[in-house]
Amino acid sequence: MIRSYGTRTGFALALTLVAAIAFTTGVAAQQTGADARPIYDLKQCVEIALAGSPSLAIAGQQTESAGKDKLKAWGNFLPSVSLSRTWSKNERTDFDVDVTATDFVTVPTVDPAGTVQFPFSYATGEKTDSSITTSYKDYSIQSSLVVFDGFGKFGGLKSAKNSLAAAKADQMYSRQLVIQEVATSYFSLLRKHKLLEVSEGSRDLARRELEKSETYYRLGSVAKSDVLQAKVRLQQTKLDVVRAANAVEQAFADLAHAMNQPLAQRFDVDTSLLETSFDMPALADLYQDSQAERLDLMSKHYIFEARNGEVTSAGGGLWPSLQLFANYTRYQNESPYRFGAQDSDNLQYGYRVNWDIFDRFMSYSGRSQAKARARIADYELQQKKLDVQLEVRTLYNNLVEARERILLSRETIEQAREELRLAQERFKVGAGTTLDRINAEVNLASAQADEVDGICDFLINSLQLDRAVGTPLDGLFQ
């Protein structure tokens, strides 16, 4: 049973997303004009991706195929029944057959007045062709049931059941991966939008500082080199805006690709999703939950059980088998060469016991190979458990680091703003240089970008951590 965490960061994020849906609906209704673009919330993007995901469709077909294998495994416990009908016509021609005639020979009896005639055939010396036409038809029904085959049927059923369970777990995990990819791309696009805003803010600030420098230069308060430095700074920020805008378009392309619609019409996303809490779950709970709820880990466990079923099935050839059978046939035969009546029926039933005393090591080798596959599945299960623990630990560390980066960047932003204010004041009174002011601007923009990166990294790692411990990601947009 998969559990969700009431105190998990993903739960807090889900609440934020629900509020964002209402917000984006209102914003979209207010947009007018030819350049207005629709705003897609995370729920819409995920639904589009799930509806057209090739990987999810493949997983669905694999589950359906595994379901048919289970049905076939159940069928081995039932008797087989078949009906058949045969009709045939035969025309036989013998060439150059000797023509015979019949005559009678008279033989006297004991009674002088009595005689007896006996027929006899003799060849006339002529040749002819002789044809015979016959027909045959029958109706039959056959049934057989393997009562015992060395537990092979039970092993096959166990393997089919667990293979189906593994396919279902893989399908559910594929769904979680699709949601994670879309949500990650969505947050990445939010990141690029916010970084674009930071770049545009730096450009506007650089433009205002250039205007101040030009004014001071006309008044004779600063040198021409200060104006040139301000111009270079403005051009650099303009280039940063171009790069940030290109990054936004690339991030949108990545999101559209994750939604399986690479040619999707451009739409906007809601940047208010970046407002979230930064609660951290307990690492010990994450380890425990990941071992119990991780879907791909469940799939590995089911595969291991399926391989054990194959071992039982492969060992069936080492045992004797018992089969019951019955056969009823009714036929009509018009051939003059038939044995018995022209119209007859036949009922046959019994049992058959078979034991391959020596099958050239086929059963023994097959069972050994099945055991080897079962051991491989067990090793893969143990390795997957180790990999899951490492992934949880890595994502948790990333989450802690992102939270600390956010806290540090917010302190740095306050410091950078104060440094910029002081640099502007010193420059105004002639106690500072343009380079000091530019350095303060760069530090402020860098700190603001660090905050955006930290928040997005926290959201993405929180999302991935929820997936890594088995928390359903569907709750993010429901």
User: With 60 as the cut, is the pLDDT of residue 322 above it?
Assistant: yes
**1 pLDDT more than 90:** no
Pick 24 or 374 by higher pLDDT: 374
Q: pLDDT at position 31, please?
A: 42
With respect to residue 327, please indicate whether it lies within any of the assigned structural domains: yes
**Angle at alpha carbon of residue 451, lines to 446 and 456, rounded to 5°:** 125
282 and 314 belong to one structural domain: yes
Residue 3 lies in a domain: no
Same domain flag for 307 and 342: no
Domain membership of residue 17 (yes or no) is: yes
Q: Is residue 4 part of a domain?
A: no
How far is the C-alpha of 364 from the C-alpha of 352, rounded, in Å? 23
CB of 328 closer than 8 Å to CB of 141: yes
The pairing of beta strand 343-354 with beta strand 80-108: unpaired
Is there a contact between 163 and 310 (Cβ–Cβ < 8 Å)? Answer: no
Beta bridge partners of 351: 324
Residue 200 has pLDDT above 90, yes or no: yes
Whether residues 94 and 216 fall in one domain: no
Q: If you average pLDDT over residues 163-187, what whole number do you get?
A: 96
The pLDDT of residue 220: 84
Task: Quote the tokens at residue 29.
Answer: 């209704």
- Does residue 129 sit in the same domain as residue 217? no
pLDDT of residue 108: 75
Q: What's the mean pLDDT in 31-52? A: 80
Q: List pLDDT tens digits, range 251-275.
A: 999 999 999 998 888 898 877 777 7
pLDDT bin (cut points 50, 70, 90) of residue 55 is very high
**pTM for the model:** 0.80
90 touches 106 (CB < 8 A): no
2 is a domain residue: no
280 and 400 belong to one structural domain: yes
What CA–CA distance (Å, rounded) separates 191 from 452?
A: 6
Residues 334 and 379 in one domain: no
Same domain, 70 and 93: no
Asked if residue 327 has pLDDT above 50, the reply is yes
Domain that holds residue 378: 9-78+149-320+359-476
Q: What is the pLDDT of residue 11?
A: 33
Q: Is residue 1 a part of any domain in this protein? A: no
470 and 374 inside one domain = yes
Asked if 136 and 71 sit in the same domain, the reply is no
- Torsion region of 78: left, alpha or beta (phi above 0 gives left; psi -120 to 50 gives alpha): beta
One domain, residues 55 and 166: yes
Q: Decide if 66 is inside a domain.
A: yes
Distance CA 448, CA 205 (A): 14
Q: Is residue 44 part of a domain?
A: yes
Q: What mean pLDDT comes out for the span 173-197? A: 95
Give me the number of domains the chain comprises: 2
224-249 pLDDT per residue, tens: 998 999 999 999 999 999 999 999 99
Q: How confident is the model at residue 294 (pLDDT cuts 50, 70, 90)?
A: very high
CATH number, domain with residue 435: 1.20.1600.10
Most confident of 102-106, 402-406, 428-432: 402-406
Tally of CB atoms within 10 A around 442: 17
Q: Is the pLDDT of residue 2 over 50?
A: no
274 in the same domain as 166: yes
Between 346 and 338, name the one with better pLDDT.
Answer: 346
Q: What is the pLDDT of residue 22?
A: 34
**Same domain, yes or no, for 264 and 405?**
yes
